[in-house]
A and B are shown apart, each in its own frame.
Chain A
Amino acid sequence: MTMDRRSFIKLVGGASTVALAGCAGGPAVSSGAAAEIMPKSGRRVVVIGGGYGGTIAAKYVRMLDASIEVVLIERNRQYISCPFSNYYIGGLMKDLTPLTIGYDKLAADHGVKMVYEEVTGIDAAAKVVATKGGTLAYDRLIVSPGVDFRTEEIEGYTAETPSLMPHAWKAGEQTILLRQQLEAMPDGGKVVISMPLTPYRCPPGPYERACLIANYLKTQKPRSKLVLIDANPDVVSKKPLFTKAWNNYYNGIFEYVPGKKVTKVDAQHKTLVVEGIEDHQGDVVNFIPPQRAGRIAVAAGLVGDDKNWCPVDATTFESTKHKDIHVIGDAAVAGAMPKSGYSANSEAKVCATNVVALMNGKEITELSGINVCYSAISSSESISVAGVYRVEGGNIVGVPNSGGISPVDFSQAKLEHVYAESWLKNILTEMSA
């Protein structure tokens, strides 16, 4: 790609842009003006978010029709997977390298054009995405923004809270911080995890985290305690399996406290307050706030009546709020498909298939989707949930008499632990190569 003046302006950015533009004799461009990043010549799909959904949508649109230009906007140069980040927190992974991918091969092998910018807005009528570095026009937009936190519902929650009480629900610095706090805690300390009401990202994630932190305490700090405070009335995912793991492996270390919704935090004193009255204090507090669709989906008016999640067509994943904008992954309301990394991968392929069909005036194809999700229960055993999905009466439903969880006797748990590692390898390779 030859560097045109506009992309040059974007690269040098900021205040110096004005002076340089002036020297070149062209019209002065202020840093606040919405300069176009890459002028659109042919047909273009723009994808927002380079995670489990966005990377796959971008790649599959290119695989299905290389005449469509695909621009993937992502704010970070590297992506760190949330699935398996509990391995790192529990000390089963020495660093985040196995969870980290870049975008170079997606660009080189599939011709996906990367724009590393923060999206600031979407103009659905003009079909333009605004970023801090300029604008991008699209024919169709695929939004895969993940989740954001509804911290305004929690009394006392400030910008500083996550640095004292990490959520570690977006992988990266927060993941590292939670492990550091666990490592710094003396033996005999107390760890508290708090999880929100459904729906939230990764239904089994908090329960897996409880297993792996309990496993760390059992092996490294055996006089310590762990409490999981669940806002839900009961375990919402893989219940018989997690319950058995807690009873069999972590009895005496771990306590499960259901039906307790945290409404207030006091980060300085590492204290959570349930329904305004009951205090839970810990030496390490992992507070996972309630969630909604990623910020950009909310700002662009893609959320439904609940103001939290994005309603979509079950076949095309096109937003029911705005034409030509599709929403996939955790942010979307995808019927029976859970908010998991594998669902996002599967939804992205369905969405890409139908985006390409719509752009080519071809017939769209009904969804066939899968979710496969492993959770580690110890350093050598994992359990799984699997599901097959299709559309019935306009809704995504699980195919009857299929799917389900691992056998409760743990007879496959060692084998599933091995398969889980290949799951990670394959899904991250799909996203990055």
Chain B
Amino acid sequence: MTRRWSVWALATGALAMSAAAHAAPPTAAMLANACGGCHGTQGASAGPSMPNLAGQSKKALVEAMKAFKSGERSSTVMGRLTKGYSDADIVAMSEYFSKQKPTAYAQAVDAKKADKGGMLQEKHCGRCHVDDGQDFKDDAPIMAGQWLGYLQIQMDEYISGKRKMSEKMAEKVKHLSADDMDAIAHFYASEKMGETK
């Protein structure tokens, strides 16, 4: 038995060595690892303008990447990159990141703005970004512990119209000023989520 096992291991080892043709197609981890240079190891971002992907909702990630790919959502490199992946790849990467342990790096926020934002978000955002943004409904992303720099860029793009809002979001946001939006960003950034680094 031991002998047969070792013969089998040698044979498969030799096959694997002989040609790349015997390699399996890229796994979800292989696809997702390549994103880490910008989004951090397993999607835990250390860069203030790069969103954390670790523990994010799979549905929100799929929607975001598909919107980048089609050009519906404006982007810098993401549109160019997502065009290199099939829809199945996008689903596999999204699932991979959604299963990673949420990790948030410590960041400085304005406590006064965060307090104001906390009150505003409950009324205006809480129906989709539920539990103070710690959880989500439908295709809404988890907001808690997200980088302030990233959130502020998104808020600016929503306000300027560069990034399109869903109808339900537009309905809520029309009652909010730019300062309100910024306060909400401070609130979500101030929220603890998963492991803090």
Contact = CB atoms under 8 A, between A and B. Distances in A.
A41 interface: no
Contact of B26 (A60, A313, A390): A390
Contacts, number: 156
A415 interface: yes
Contacts of B37: 342, 345-346, 370, 372, 423, 426-427, 430
Nearest to A394: B20
Contacts of A412: 76
Contacts of B134: none
Contacts of A300: none
A314 B21 CA distance: 10
A398 B45 CA distance: 26
Contacts of A384: 76-77
Contact of B153 (A358, A387, A418, A433): A418
Contact of B76 (A316, A357, A403, A416): A416
Contacts of B20: 313-316, 364, 366, 391, 394
A394 B81 CA distance: 22
Nearest to B77: A386
Interface string B153-170: 100000000000000000
A352 B149 CA distance: 32
Contact of B33 (A314, A353, A419): A353
A166 interface: no
Given A406-B76, A418-B153, A364 B22 contact: yes
Q: B17, B19, B46, B85: which has the most chain A beta carbons within 10 Å?
A: B46
Contacts of A150: none
A350 interface: yes
A422 B83 CA distance: 22
A365 B23 CA distance: 5
Contacts of B48: 421-422, 425
Interface of A: 59-60, 313-316, 318, 342, 345-346, 349-350, 353-354, 357-358, 361-370, 372, 384, 386-388, 390-391, 394, 398-399, 401-404, 406, 412, 415-416, 418-419, 421-427, 429-430, 433
26 contacts: A313-B20, A318-B17, A346-B33, A349-B36, A350-B33, A358-B17, A361-B13, A365-B25, A365-B30, A366-B26, A367-B30, A368-B30, A368-B34, A372-B81, A388-B34, A388-B81, A401-B83, A402-B82, A415-B76, A418-B49, A419-B76, A422-B49, A427-B37, A429-B41, A430-B37, A430-B40
